[in-house]
Chain A
Amino acid sequence: MWTKVLSYIPDWKTFMQAGLVLLIPLIINFGYNKISSLVSNKNNPAKKTTAGDTTAPEEPLSGEYERDLEFLKKTIGTSSDVHFREFQITGLNVRACLVFVDGMQTVDFLNTHVMQVLMREADPQLREQGRALNTPEFTAHLKEKILPLIDITEVTEKLELTQSILKGFTALLLDGMPHALLVGLPNGKTRAIAEPTSEALLRGSRIGFTEVLSENTAMLRMQGKSENLEMKKYVVGSLLKKNLVIAYFKDIVNPELLHEVEDRITKIDIDFIAESGYVEQLIEDNPLSPFQQVQNTERPDRVINALLEGRVAILVEGTPFALIVPVTFSMLLQSPEDYFERWMPGSLLRTLRFFASFLALMAPALYISFISFHPGLIPTELAITIIEARQGVPFPSLIEVLILEISIEILREAGLRLPKPIGPAMGIVGGLIIGEAAVQAGIVSPFLVIVVAVTAISSFSIPMYSAGIALRVLRFVGMLFAATLGMFGTILFFLLICSHISKLKSFGVPYITPFSPFRLQDFKDLFVRAPLTLMKRRPEMMKTGNRRRRS
Chain B
Amino acid sequence: MFKRSMRRCCLLIAAMALISGCWSSKEIEDLSMYAGLALDVGDPTPLERELERKGATYDKKNQITATIQIVPAHSSSSNQGDSSTKGKVPEFLNTTETGDSLFEIMRTYSTRRERAVIGHHLKTIVVSNRLLQKRGIDSIMDFVLRDNDIRPSCVVFVTEGRALDTFAKNASGTVPAQQLRDFLRNRFRTNRIMEGVNLTRLDALMRTRQSFVLQNVVAAKGELELSGAGVIKGASGKWIGSLSQTDVESISWIRGDGGGGAIKTYDWRGEPIVYEIESMKSKQKAKITGDDISFHVEIKSEGRFIENWDIREDPSKPKYMEKAEQLFEERLNAMLREFMRKIQTQYKVEVAGFGESLRIQSPKTWKKVKDRWDEVFSEVPVTFDIDLHITDFGSSTK
Chain B stretch 7-54: residues in CB contact (< 8 A) with chain A:
9-10, 17, 20-29, 31-33, 35
* 0/1 string, A14-37, CB within 8 A of B gives 1: 000000000000010001001000
Which residues of chain A are near B25, meaning CB under 8 Å?
Answer: 372-373, 396, 483, 486
Chain A stretch 184-226: residues in CB contact (< 8 A) with chain B:
none
Chain B stretch 98-137: residues in CB contact (< 8 A) with chain A:
118, 120-121, 123
Name the one of A376, A386, A398 contacting B118, with C-beta atoms under 8 angstroms. Answer: A376
CB distance from A209 to the nearest CB of B (A): 43
Partner-contacting stretch, out of A155-163, A320-328, A387-395: A387-395
Count contacts on A: residues with CB < 8 A to the other chain: 31
Contact yes or no, A387 B77, CB < 8 A: no
Which residues of chain B are near A442, meaning CB under 8 Å?
Answer: 77, 80-81
Please provide the 7 A-B residue pairs with the shortest distance between their CB atoms, ordered closest to farther. A376-B120, A392-B77, A390-B29, A372-B25, A392-B80, A380-B121, A391-B77
Give the nearest-CB partner of B12 in chain A.
A27
Which residues of chain B are near A388, meaning CB under 8 Å?
Answer: 72, 74, 79, 90
CB distance from B53 to the nearest CB of A (A): 34
* 0/1 string, A377-417, CB within 8 A of B gives 1: 11010011111101111001110000000000000000000
- Bound-state CA distance A377–B29 (Å) is 15
Contact yes or no, B27 A484, CB < 8 A: no
- Bound-state CA distance A397–B6 (Å) is 34
Which residues of chain A are near B77, meaning CB under 8 Å?
Answer: 391-392, 442
A366 at interface, CB cutoff 8 A: no
- Bound-state CA distance A370–B32 (Å) is 15
Which residues of chain B are near A31, meaning CB under 8 Å?
Answer: 9-10
A375 at interface, CB cutoff 8 A: yes
Name the one of A377, A386, A440, A483 contacting B81, with C-beta atoms under 8 angstroms. Answer: A440
Give the nearest-CB partner of B33 in chain A.
A383
Extra A-B contacts (6), CB below 8 Å, given A34-B6, A373-B26, A375-B28 = A373-B24, A376-B149, A383-B28, A387-B31, A391-B77, A397-B27
Contact yes or no, B121 A376, CB < 8 A: yes
Give the nearest-CB partner of A380 in chain B.
B121
CB distance from B100 to the nearest CB of A (A): 27
Give the nearest-CB partner of A400 in chain B.
B27
Which residues of chain B are near A428, meaning CB under 8 Å?
Answer: none
Give the nearest-CB partner of B148 in chain A.
A376
Contact yes or no, B33 A390, CB < 8 A: no
A485 at interface, CB cutoff 8 A: yes
B76 at interface, CB cutoff 8 A: yes
CB distance from A388 to the nearest CB of B (A): 5
* 0/1 string, B67-102, CB within 8 A of A gives 1: 000011011110111000000001000000000000
B208 at interface, CB cutoff 8 A: no
Chain B interface size range: 35 or more
Name the one of B27, B72, B178 contacting A372, with C-beta atoms under 8 angstroms. Answer: B27
Contact yes or no, A390 B23, CB < 8 A: no
Contact yes or no, B29 A372, CB < 8 A: no
Q: With contacts A375-B28, A391-B29, A392-B80 known, is A485 near B120, CB below 8 A?
A: no
Which residues of chain A are near B76, meaning CB under 8 Å?
Answer: 391
Name B's A-contacting residues (CB within 8 A).
6, 9-10, 17, 20-29, 31-33, 35, 71-72, 74-77, 79-81, 90, 118, 120-121, 123, 149, 151, 178
Contact yes or no, A484 B123, CB < 8 A: no
Which residues of chain A are near B6, meaning CB under 8 Å?
Answer: 34
CB distance from A496 to the nearest CB of B (A): 14
Which of A31, A375, A378 has the most B CB atoms < 10 Å from its CB? A375
- Bound-state CA distance A31–B11 (Å) is 13
Contact yes or no, B118 A384, CB < 8 A: no
Which residues of chain A are near B10, meaning CB under 8 Å?
Answer: 31
A268 at interface, CB cutoff 8 A: no
Give the nearest-CB partner of A28 in chain B.
B13
CB distance from B93 to the nearest CB of A (A): 12
Which residues of chain B are near A484, meaning CB under 8 Å?
Answer: 17, 20-23
A371 at interface, CB cutoff 8 A: yes
Contact yes or no, A390 B71, CB < 8 A: no
Name the one of A370, A373, A383, A391 contacting B121, with C-beta atoms under 8 angstroms. Answer: A383
Contact yes or no, B28 A387, CB < 8 A: yes
Chain A stretch 330-379: residues in CB contact (< 8 A) with chain B:
370-373, 375-378
Give the nearest-CB partner of A398 in chain B.
B22
CB distance from A439 to the nearest CB of B (A): 8
CB distance from B269 to the nearest CB of A (A): 50
Name the one of A391, A396, A485 contacting B74, with C-beta atoms under 8 angstroms. Answer: A391
- Bound-state CA distance A425–B295 (Å) is 79
Contact yes or no, B33 A375, CB < 8 A: yes
Which residues of chain B are near A376, meaning CB under 8 Å?
Answer: 118, 120-121, 149, 151
CB distance from A272 to the nearest CB of B (A): 31
Contact yes or no, B21 A384, CB < 8 A: no
Name the one of A27, A380, A392, A486 contacting B33, with C-beta atoms under 8 angstroms. Answer: A380
Which residues of chain B are near A397, meaning CB under 8 Å?
Answer: 27
Contact yes or no, B24 A375, CB < 8 A: no
Q: With contacts A375-B120, A376-B118, A442-B77 known, is A393 near B22, CB below 8 A?
A: no
Can you list 14 residue pairs at the A/B interface with Cβ under 8 Å? A31-B9, A373-B26, A380-B35, A384-B33, A384-B72, A385-B90, A386-B28, A387-B31, A388-B90, A391-B75, A391-B76, A391-B77, A396-B25, A397-B27
